[in-house]
Structure 1
Amino acid sequence: MCRAPVNQFLPMSLVDGPGNRCAIFFQGCNLNCSFCHNPETIKIIHSEEENDDIKFYSVDELFEKVKKIRPFIVGITTSGGECTIHHKFLIQFFKKIKTLNLNILVDTNGLIDLSNENMKELVELTDGFMLDIKALEESSHKRITGSSNKTVLKNMHYLAKLGKLEEIRTVLMSGEDNLKIVDTITKELSPYLKIKNIRYKLISYRPFGVRSEFSDLHSVSDNEKEYLKTVAQKNGFTDIVLI
């Protein structure tokens, strides 16, 4: 039986995509971001015995939880951790969710190549992906997350071309080349806006909830954030959210 670890099940959320949605946070992540606000979801576990707070669900069990709240939501969003490391589970789960006529979004760090054949069905079943662009330069991405961003940027173009890039997000931290990130990314994505509008969330780094060794990082000023918004607008983006 296919089972997957769930760290948190939110029956209703207004911040995990458009509309009132069920948000499901899967346990385990393939990155180790310095600014992670859910560090408790990083560790990959294989049984409930490793962590009493994590529940392993079968596809049917998780589907039944969503089915009970179907009248009150417009869709589901799977997140983490990194939910795509459980892609075999998600494929089976999404097939059942489709019978409820619910919108399906996937919140991902983009580290797994979604153009691979074994991910094809997951992409087809998903209505949209919410992708983090944590850094533009590979060296910066490795410093922040521990891994290369080559696959992340590949996924960005792949999903945009398919019209399945729902949202991109960048956490703004002092000392990073935020202008280069926002300007380059929005310029690269602007040709795809005629296929589907893409939301861009510019998120201020906040020290709350992060691990203590990273609590001394700082965000950018409100003025800089507003300027970055105008840069994205100049490059054709109309749906920009400052957080």
Structure 2
Amino acid sequence: MNKSWAIVNKLLPFSCVDGPGNRLVIFLQGCNFKCLNCHNPYTISLCSDCGSCVSSCPHQALSLVDNKVIWQTSACQQCDTCINTCSHSSTPMTYRYSVEDILQTIRKYQPFLTGITVSGGEATMQLPFITKLFSAIKQDQNLKHLTCFIDSNGYLSQSGWQKVQPVLDGAMIDLKAWDSQIHKKLTGRDNHRVKQTIAYLAKINKLYEVRFLIIPEHTDLQHNATHLAQFLMDIDPNIKIRINAFHNHGVHGIAKTWKPATQDQVELFAMQLKNNGLHNITLPSVYL
């Protein structure tokens, strides 16, 4: 993919939950996981321009021109009919931003920002663009104070992290399960690289946070708290941990039938981690 521009699903000018402080968040399209519990499955794939969504649009906001699906934002009513029609876990409602486009947006909100977070989908699927964007921010006298973060599933190889490391201030990494086979069942991929990513980023002082999602009866995190704690304690006893509670609002497929995590279940897992030496733990502020 051309590193000078990116396929963006959404841009959020202000967020206080995607890293430290007030952050501008760029959600990139595309993901290399297929999580059963994904709340945004339409961010997984890039549009294949098959055209199946064009005729289904009730507002004629889509057309097929030269074998490319064209989205007319002025006609779109955000009814999501195209998303529900697509059989490829994608959406035609994406934006193509250059590095300069993003920089102009950052400059607009810069007085109110602490930093920039690139998320997804899976952000690192468009790593060349991220590296160029972060480099441009660091070279700009008016923007270089902004911290540059990546929110990731951790599947990027170490050589990939090494490419972005010089301009990266921190990363938030999700660990979906302790056992590799359970991780593969949930996401379609094993977790060897994810664990390697956590260890590597901590070693180079670029790991901001490790995130766990408690899904009752489906994740094995609760049953492997001792192993998890030992793994993280060996890396850094002060490692920052965030525990999230699964809810089935907005999910698709089989995960709609899964039970949401309760406050008691999340707090029990947190206590297990604390009993094994970890104390820098953030719990959900709201349980749905």
> What TM-score, normalized by structure 2, do the two folds share?
0.78
86-95 or 184-193, which deviates more: 184-193
Structure 1: 4+ residue segments shifted above 6 A? none
1:234 counterpart residue number: 275
Change (3 A) 1:75 1:185: same
Q: CA RMSD in A?
A: 1.9
Q: Pairwise mapping of residues 150-189 of structure 1 onto structure 2 (< 5 A)?
A: 150-175=192-217, 176-189=219-232
* Secondary structure, counterpart of 1:32 in structure 2: coil
1:107 counterpart residue number: 151
1:211 counterpart residue number: 252
132-141 or 168-177, which deviates more: 168-177
* Structure 2 contact 247–261 (Cα < 8 Å) conserved: no
Matched, 1:31 2:33: yes
Instruction: Give the whole-Å Cα distance in 2 for the aligned partners of 1:183 and 1:142.
Output: 21
Q: Which of 259, 262, 267 is residue 221 of structure 1 equivalent to?
A: 262
* Secondary structure, counterpart of 2:124 in structure 1: helix
2:52 counterpart residue number: none
Matched, 1:62 2:102: yes
Q: Which of 64, 69, 78 is residue 49 of structure 1 equivalent to?
A: 69
Alignment length, in residue pairs? 239
Q: Which of 118, 130, 136 is residue 90 of structure 1 equivalent to?
A: 130
Q: Which of 226, 230, 235 is residue 192 of structure 1 equivalent to?
A: 235
**Structure possessing the higher radius of gyration over alpha carbons:** 2
Deviation at 1:137, TM superposition (A): 0.9
Whose helix fraction is larger, Structure 1's or Structure 2's?
A: 1
Unaligned runs of 5+ in 1: none
- Report sequence identity in percent: 33
Unaligned runs of 5+ in 2: 50-67, 71-90
* Structure 1 contact 87–119 (Cα < 8 Å) conserved: no
175-184 or 98-107, which deviates more: 175-184
Deviation at 1:46, TM superposition (A): 7.0
What amino acid sits opposite 1:26 in the alignment? L
> What TM-score, normalized by structure 1, do the two folds share?
0.91
* Structure 1 contact 110–155 (Cα < 8 Å) conserved: yes
Matched, 1:125 2:167: yes
| Alpha-carbon displacement from aligned partner over 1:114-164 (angstroms, at most 9, x marks no partner) | x21x54131221111100000111110111001111111111111111121
Instruction: Give the whole-Å Cα distance in 1 for the aligned partners of 2:108 and 2:156.
Output: 31
Matched, 1:73 2:73: no
